[in-house]
Structure 1
C-alpha cells in the first residue's frame, strides 16, 4: 500500500519507519527543510531506541522524505501526525492540524480515486468531524464519499515507541463508514493485536481517557507514597502488594517525582479545559495535576533537611530527560527542581546520558558535565531525577562528593546513603 505520513515529529517519524517495516511504500512529509534533510540522511532529531536502524534499512527504498505535498495524490491513504501542543487555556493548539488539512486538501484536488485520511494527532473529541473533515473537503473541492476519514490514536511510549507500534496492546480505529474502517485496519496486517472499532469521537476520547487514567495512577501512587514515607513504610513494598490485584495491575504504580513528557501533562490539561467548557467539574483530574506539580519540590524539602540552606551549595542533578531512553525534556520533573534550586541560589551541575543538549537550549546558566562522575565531584548533595539504568551502577562515584548526601526521585540506586522521595 502507498501511504503518506504528514509530520516528521515523534509520532510521524516512528509511524513512517514502522509502516515501511510492515512492507508499505511510505512518503514522509516534513515541511521543516532542516528536519526533512536530517531525516533523509538517517539522522533523526530525536533519540528513540531502534529508530535509526529502521531508517537505515528503509530510507531510499520503502521510505522517502519530502518537504512538499506534491505526490500525496499518488498514495492510497494519508496519516496526519502533526503536533498539537498545549495552547491557550489548556486546550490543544490546532494550528499545525489546520495547516496540514489545507495542504492535504489542495493536494487531493486532482485525484480521481478514493483517498483515506487517518488522524493520528491527538485532538479533543469532535475535532476530526468539526475541523479536519470540513477543512479537507473544502480545500479538496471533493465530495464526502470520495474521501474517507478515520481517527487512529497512537499509544507510543517514548523510549519504546518502535516496540509499541509493532506490538501494541490494541489498535483503535474510529470511523463513520465501514469502507474507511476496513482500509485503515488493513494497514496493520501483520501485527497481532485486538482491533477496537468505534465512532470517531469515541476514538478521540479513548486516547485522552487512557493518558488521564495512567497519570491518575502515578499521582495516586505518589500521594500514597508521601503518606507511607511519613509513616516509615516502604511505598514500593505496599504498591507491589496492591499491583498484584488483577483489577489494578502493577504498571504506573512506582512512587517518585511525578510524570512529564509530551503527552500526560498536556492531555490532562486539555481534558480539564474541555470539562470546564461543558460546565463539568473535573475534581479528580485537577487533583492529579496538583499532586504532580507539587511532587518534585518535595525533593528540595528533603534536601534542605539534610544540608540546610541551599544558597551557595553545589548540587548535582543526575537525569534531565523526563524518563529514561529518550532525550525529551518536555515537562521533565527536573525542570522545576532546577528552577527552584536556582531561585534558592544553589550552584547547579547536571548530567544526563542523552538530554544535555536539549536542556541546554532551555537552561543555559548551569554547568553541564560529560559524565555522572564529573557532576558528582565536589558536590554537597545529589538529586537523581531520571531512571537511567547506568545510574543503578553508581556507588564509589558518590565518594567524590564533598558530602555523600543523595536524594532519589526515582528508585534506581542500590548503593548506601540514599533517601528516596517516597521511601
Structure 2
C-alpha cells in the first residue's frame, strides 16, 4: 500500500519505518530539510531502540523515503496519515499543526480527482477529526466527505519500546467516517494478528485519552497510598502493593500458574509520571471536560497528586538532614523513563530544581538525556555538574538519588556506599543489598 505520513517526529517516523518493514511504500514528510537529509541516509533524529537498524533496512529496500514536499508525497498515496505534534498550551492541545496539514492536503485535493483517505494519527481530543479536520479539508478542497476519506488511528507506543509496540500491538483502533477508509485501514493492518476495534473517529480519539487517563490515575492513587503509608509509619507501601497485586483481578490464576500483567508496573510507588503523553493527555481531557461544564474532579486530583509527588524526595531528605545546603548529591537518571532521551515532564527536572533551591551541590548523570535536560532546565544547568561516569561519582556523593529505573543503577549495590544516603525513588534495589547505607524511598517512613 502507498502511504504518506505528514510529520516525521516520534510517532510519524516509527510508524513509517514499521509500515515500510511490512512491505508498504512509505513517504515521510518533514518541513526541516536537515531532518529529511538525515533520514534519507539512514540517520534518525530521535532515539529509539532498534530504529536505526530498521530505518537502514527499509531504505535499502527502497520502501521508505523522506521529503519536504507534502503534495508529491500524497499524489500517489492511498492513505495520508497526519502525525504532527499537538503540544499542550495551558492544559489544552494546540491543533495548529494538524489544521495546517488538513489545509495543505485539501489544497492538493482541490486540483486532483485522486481519492485519498486522510487519517489522523496525532493525539487529538474527541470531536477533532470529524469537525475541524473535515471542515478544513472540505473548505480547502471545495469537496465534500466522500470525494475523500476520513479516519482516525491512534498510536499506543511506549518510548523505548515503540518498535516492539508497533510490530506486536495489543490492539489496533480503526476510526473511520466512511467505509472506503475503513477498508483501506483494514488492508493496511491486515498483516497484524491482534484485536482490531472498528469505531467512529470520535470514539477512536477518546479511546486514546481514556487509556492514558486511567493509567495516570492508577499511578497517582498508588502514590497517594504510599504517602499515607509513610505518614502512618511501620508500613512499607511496596509490601502493601505486593499484596494488592495478588488480587486475581490484577494477577489471574491459570492452570499454568499466576500471571503478572504489565499493568502491575503502574501499581508501584514512585515519584510520579512524566513524558510526552500522560501529563499532556490528562490535562487535555480535563480541559475538554471543563469546557463542557463538567467539574472533572478525578482528573484534577490525579494531576495534583502527580505535581506534588516529586517533592517527596527533597522533603524526606530535609527531614533527615535538617538542611541540604552544601550536601553533595548525585542524581541518577534525567529522562522521564529509562532508555529514552525524552525529558518532557520528567520528575528529575522538579527534583533537581528542588535540590538547587535547597542549595545542595548537584551532579547528574544520564546516558542519553543530559543535553535535553540542560535545555529543559535552562540557566539552572550552570549550577549543575553533568557526569559521564556515575560510578566514579559515588565516592564524592553524600546522597545518591535513583530517579529513573534504569537497570545499570542496580550496580550501586556492588559499590562502596557505606555511610551514604541512597534515595531509591523508583524501588529499583533491595534495601538489604545496601546494608551499610541509609536507604530511603517513597512510601516508607524514616527509621
Do both share a fold (TM > 0.5)?
A: yes
- 1:146, distance to aligned residue in structure 2 (A): 1.4
> Does residue 270 of structure 1 match 2:270?
no
- 1:112, distance to aligned residue in structure 2 (A): 1.6
Structure 2, unmatched stretches of 5+, are 252-263
Q: Which residue of 1 aligns with 2:104?
A: 103
> Does residue 323 of structure 1 match 2:337?
yes
Moved over 6 A (4+): none
Q: For 1:251 and 1:351, locate their aligned partners in 2 and report how far apart those are by CA, in whole Å.
A: 24
Q: For 1:360 and 1:59, locate their aligned partners in 2 and report how far apart those are by CA, in whole Å.
A: 33
Q: For 1:343 and 1:163, locate their aligned partners in 2 and report how far apart those are by CA, in whole Å.
A: 40
What is the SS of the residue equivalent to 2:139? Answer: helix
- 1:362, distance to aligned residue in structure 2 (A): 2.2
Q: Which residue of 2 aligns with 1:209?
A: 210
Q: Which residue of 1 aligns with 2:410?
A: 392
Query: For the Cα contact (< 8 Å) 2:334–2:370, is it kept in 1?
Result: yes
Per-residue deviation, residues 194-215 of structure 1 (Å, max 9, x unmatched): 1111111111111111100000
Structure 1, unmatched stretches of 5+, are none
> Does residue 421 of structure 1 match 2:432?
no
Per-residue deviation, residues 44-95 of structure 1 (Å, max 9, x unmatched): 222111111110111251110111113211111111000101013x110111
Query: For the Cα contact (< 8 Å) 1:409–1:421, is it kept in 2?
Result: yes
What is the SS of the residue equivalent to 1:197? Answer: strand
Provide the alpha-carbon RMSD of the alignment.
Answer: 1.6
What is the SS of the residue equivalent to 1:143? Answer: coil
Q: For 1:131 and 1:374, locate their aligned partners in 2 and report how far apart those are by CA, in whole Å.
A: 55
- The number of residue pairs the alignment matches comes to 420
Q: Which residue of 2 aligns with 1:286?
A: 300
> Does residue 408 of structure 1 match 2:410?
no
Stretch moving more, 194-203 or 36-45:
36-45
Q: For 1:369 and 1:377, locate their aligned partners in 2 and report how far apart those are by CA, in whole Å.
A: 13
Q: For 2:313 and 2:319, locate their aligned partners in 1 and report how far apart those are by CA, in whole Å.
A: 10
What is the SS of the residue equivalent to 1:74? Answer: coil
Q: For 1:53 and 1:312, locate their aligned partners in 2 and report how far apart those are by CA, in whole Å.
A: 45
Q: Which residue of 2 aligns with 1:58?
A: 58
- 1:251, distance to aligned residue in structure 2 (A): 4.0
Q: For 1:378 and 1:35, locate their aligned partners in 2 and report how far apart those are by CA, in whole Å.
A: 41
1:2-81 → structure 2 map (5 Å cutoff):
2-59=2-59, 61-71=62-72, 72-81=74-83
- 1:221, distance to aligned residue in structure 2 (A): 1.0
What is the SS of the residue equivalent to 2:93? Answer: coil
Q: For 1:380 and 1:203, locate their aligned partners in 2 and report how far apart those are by CA, in whole Å.
A: 50
What is the SS of the residue equivalent to 1:315? Answer: strand
> Which of 293, 298, 305 pairs up with 2:319?
305
Query: For the Cα contact (< 8 Å) 2:43–2:52, is it kept in 1?
Result: yes
- 1:246, distance to aligned residue in structure 2 (A): 4.4
Per-residue deviation, residues 252-275 of structure 1 (Å, max 9, x unmatched): 101111100000001111111111
Query: For the Cα contact (< 8 Å) 1:302–1:407, is it kept in 2?
Result: no
Q: Normalising to structure 2: TM-score of the pair?
A: 0.90
> Does residue 342 of structure 1 match 2:343?
no
Q: For 2:70 and 2:77, locate their aligned partners in 1 and report how far apart those are by CA, in whole Å.
A: 11
